[in-house]
Chain A
Amino acid sequence: MRTRTLALTALAAAGLVLGAAGQAGASTGGVLTVGSAGGTNANVGDTLTGAINSDFIFTTSSGTIDCSTGSFTAGVTANPAVGSGNATESITGLHADPANCSTTIGGTIGVVSVEINGPANGTVVDGSSPTLKVTNLDEQVTLASFLGDVTCDYGTTGSVTEIDGALSNVSKSISFATQNVNLISGSGLCPSSGTFSGGVGPVLDSSQSNQAVYVN
Chain B
Amino acid sequence: MAVPGLFHRFRFHRFRKRAAAAVAAALALVAVAASPSAAATGQPSGPYTGMGTCPTSSTQMQDPNQAVVGCVVATIGGGGFSVGSTQVNFSSPMTVTFGVTWAKGGPTVTFPDKTTAQLFSTVTPTDGNELQAGPLDVPIPGLSNFWPGVTSAIVQIELAGPIANFAPLSAGENYPLFQLPIKLHLMNLFLGPDCYVGSDSAPIVLSPTAGTTSPPPPNQPVKGSTGTISIGRDPNGFRPMIVGFNGATLNDNALAVPSANGCGLFDTADWIVNLLFGLPSAAGHNAITLSSVTTALAVDNSDSDLINAINATRK
Contacts and interface: CB of A to CB of B under 8 A. Distances in A.
A146 B70 contact: yes
Contacts, number: 67
A147 B171 CA distance: 11
B226 A188 contact: yes
B231 interface: yes
B173 A187 contact: yes
Nearest to A145: B241
A80 interface: no
A205 interface: no
Interface footprint category on A:
20 to 34
B118 A148 contact: yes
Interface stretch (B81-89, B108-116, B135-143, B155-163): B108-116
A147 B231 contact: no
A151 B117 CA distance: 10
A185 B113 CA distance: 7
Nearest to B109: A148
Interface residues of B, number: 27
B243 interface: yes
B232 A187 contact: no
A188 B113 contact: no
A107 interface: yes
B169 A148 contact: yes
A149 B241 contact: no
B43 interface: no
Contacts of A107: 231, 241-243
B301 interface: yes
Given A145-B241, A148-B115, A106 B226 contact: no
A90 to B, nearest CB: 23
A145 B226 CA distance: 19
B229 interface: yes
